[in-house]
Amino acid sequence: MIDLAQLRREPEFVKAALGRRGFPPDEVDALVALDVEHRRLLQEAESLRAEVKDLSRRVGEARRAKADDVAEGLTATSREVGERERVASEACDVVAADLRARLLMVPNLPSPDAPDGRDETDNVELRRWWLGMEEGAAFPSFAPHQRVAHWDAARELGILDLEAGARLAGSMFPLYRGDGARLLRALSALALDRHRDAYEEIRPPSVALSETMMSTGHLPKSADDMYEVPRDDLWLIPTAEVPLTSMNRGEILEESALPLRLTALTACFRREAGAAGRDTRGLLRVHEFDKVELFAYCTPDQAEAAHADILARAEGLLRELGLTYRVLDLCTGDLGTSSKRTIDLEVYSPGVDKWLEVSSVSWFGDFQARRANVRYRSAEGTQFVHTVNGSGLAWARIWAALVETYRQADATVHLPRVLAPYFGEPVIRPRA
């Protein structure tokens, strides 16, 4: 969450920063007023508590001096002051709960470097890459056989069975078969091998407690987009970012251990409630998909390099796979709740003629660490870590783009050679 101390010191700065995201200024004013009221009630309750303690001491002295009338009078006063303290404490707790609930709905302050804008149409394209670009090759022109949507190409090959997936779990839960399933496994193995030089591989649980989901900012704001298991207070994770952010929850790390880099392959579950009816064919938008996540705890000074490293690794994988992609700097109106700055990678998928988001690389500042209470010990004292994360990569749309981009005139798919160590002969042919 945002820094409450900063809100007290610089309310107008915070209001202006959040205003870049479209956050209402009157909500900031309400937060300031609630904070003032909470501190007033807290001070009142503490003062009354001290008065009760002093009265108790004086009652004891009166009893020892055999001044029973004085002791009785002080006891009556103590009860009256104690009741006032109880009322003030209860009022303080109510205001504190209201303040925390409101703070949990406040987005992060955007980085000064994030471009201003209202929505995804204002995102800034930074660059594009395609195979052969360095040698002067023009932007790819795709042949008619590459312009076949992956759901049709995959059905012909027998590697994607959307109907069976729907029978098992409902729509938008894909079922991969044969070489389709093997391609997913190969992509994950390739990515994990590429990251093992600097990132510790983690296999976290696929479910998370509400407290864990709260730490990343997914709760309470995005509850409708998540799958909940109410009986056990658990949620299916929407991304490995959730468990990785909380791995050191409540701990103090040594500065010498930072940056602490982690990677994880997990299934990811999203209800996509806010995107009903949009891009629901094939693998364009699904409720379950596999993703390799890259994550780092770091100091503020390390954050820029950590963000650049994750972005470079995600781009490096796309280049190894030979997929055409573009890099977008997300505007303030399109940033996720917890993000200060996000760079998206979108792959061009010729069969559906769309740019498909396959990675979001985000710097969160100390926003998530405040929720998770992850700090580090430095020469200047104890302070919150910064968190950075990004997909390296999300596979459903990569799978779709590969099937379309590398489809041949005879309907086979000739995958890039980089997958050969994990896939075998990188050719997908129709099932016999």
* Residues 118-177: tens digit of each pLDDT: 999 999 999 999 999 999 999 999 999 999 999 999 999 999 999 999 999 999 999 999
238 lies in some domain? yes
Same-domain pairing of 69 and 9 = yes
Tell me whether the omega of the peptide bond preceding residue 220 falls within 30 degrees of 0, making it cis.
yes
Same-domain pairing of 99 and 126 = no
109 lies in some domain? no
User: In this predicted model, what pLDDT tens digit does every residue of 192-238 receive, in sequence order?
Assistant: 999 999 999 999 999 999 999 999 999 999 999 999 999 999 999 99
- Which residue range is the domain that position 398 belongs to? 120-428
Same-domain pairing of 158 and 69 = no
305 lies in some domain? yes
134 lies in some domain? yes
pLDDT above 90 for 278: no
389 band by pLDDT with thresholds 50, 70 and 90: very high
pLDDT (0 to 100) of residue 177: 97
Task: Compute CA 355 distance to the chain's CA centroid, rounded to the nearest angstrom.
Answer: 22
pLDDT above 70 for 417: yes
115 lies in some domain? no
Catalytic residue among 285, 341, 370, 407: 285
Indicate if 270 belongs to the active site.
yes
Task: Compute CA 107 distance to the chain's CA centroid, rounded to the nearest angstrom.
Answer: 12
Q: Which of 52, 78, 103 is the last residue of a domain?
A: 103
Instruction: Report the alpha-carbon distance of residue 184 to residue 286 in Å, rounded.
Output: 15
Task: Compute CA 408 distance to the chain's CA centroid, rounded to the nearest angstrom.
Answer: 38
pLDDT above 80 for 93: yes
Same-domain pairing of 163 and 14 = no
* Sheet containing strand 124-129, strands side by side: 124-129, 325-329, 341-349, 354-363, 386-394, 288-298, 260-269, 200-202
Percent of residues, the chain, with pLDDT higher than 70: 99
Same-domain pairing of 13 and 39 = yes
- Provide the sign of the torsion angle of the four alpha carbons 315, 273, 234, 250, taken in this order: positive
pLDDT above 90 for 272: no
The structural domain count of the chain equals 2
User: In this predicted model, what pLDDT tens digit does every residue of 249-261 receive, in sequence order?
Assistant: 999 999 999 999 9
169 lies in some domain? yes
Average confidence (pLDDT) over 57-72: 92
Q: Which of 68, 103, 138 is the last residue of a domain?
A: 103
> Who wins on pLDDT, 276 or 364?
364
Residues 6+ apart with CB under 8 A from 154: 160, 180, 282, 403
Instruction: Report the alpha-carbon distance of residue 244 to residue 259 in Å, rounded.
Output: 14
Same-domain pairing of 38 and 185 = no
Catalytic residue among 341, 371, 397, 407: 397
Catalytic residue among 78, 360, 362, 391: 360
Catalytic residue among 206, 255, 357, 377: 357
Same-domain pairing of 203 and 231 = yes
Same-domain pairing of 252 and 131 = yes
Same-domain pairing of 125 and 56 = no
Specify the CATH number for the domain of residue 424: 3.30.930.10
Average confidence (pLDDT) over 24-48: 97
- Provide the sign of the torsion angle of the four alpha carbons 190, 192, 193, 199, taken in this order: positive
Residue among 293, 371, 301 nearest 337 (CA):
371
Instruction: Report the alpha-carbon distance of residue 17 to residue 334 in Å, rounded.
Output: 15
183 lies in some domain? yes
pLDDT (0 to 100) of residue 114: 98
244 lies in some domain? yes
Percent of residues, the chain, with pLDDT higher than 90: 97
CA distances, 102 to each of 87, 105, 136, 219, 282 (Å): 23, 5, 53, 12, 39
Same-domain pairing of 80 and 125 = no
Task: Compute CA 191 distance to the chain's CA centroid, rounded to the nearest angstrom.
Answer: 20
Indicate if 285 belongs to the active site.
yes
Same-domain pairing of 146 and 206 = yes
Same-domain pairing of 225 and 338 = yes
Indicate if 58 belongs to the active site.
no
User: In this predicted model, what pLDDT tens digit does every residue of 292-329 receive, in sequence order?
Assistant: 999 999 999 999 999 999 999 999 999 999 999 999 99
pLDDT above 70 for 275: no
pLDDT above 80 for 243: yes
277 band by pLDDT with thresholds 50, 70 and 90: low
pLDDT above 70 for 41: yes
pLDDT (0 to 100) of residue 129: 98
Residue among 227, 264, 268, 267 nearest 247 (CA):
264
Half-sphere exposure at residue 406, Cβ-oriented, CA atoms within 13 angstroms:
22
Residues 6+ apart with CB under 8 A from 328: 123, 124, 125, 126, 343, 344, 345, 346
β-bridge pairing 124-129 and 207-209: unpaired
Range in 65-74, 138-147, 199-208, 360-369 with the lowest mean pLDDT: 65-74
pLDDT (0 to 100) of residue 431: 82
Indicate if 51 belongs to the active site.
no
Q: Which of 103, 135, 168 is the last residue of a domain?
A: 103
pLDDT (0 to 100) of residue 279: 73
Angle, helices 179-195 vs 303-320, to 10°: value is 140
Indicate if 397 belongs to the active site.
yes
pLDDT (0 to 100) of residue 274: 59
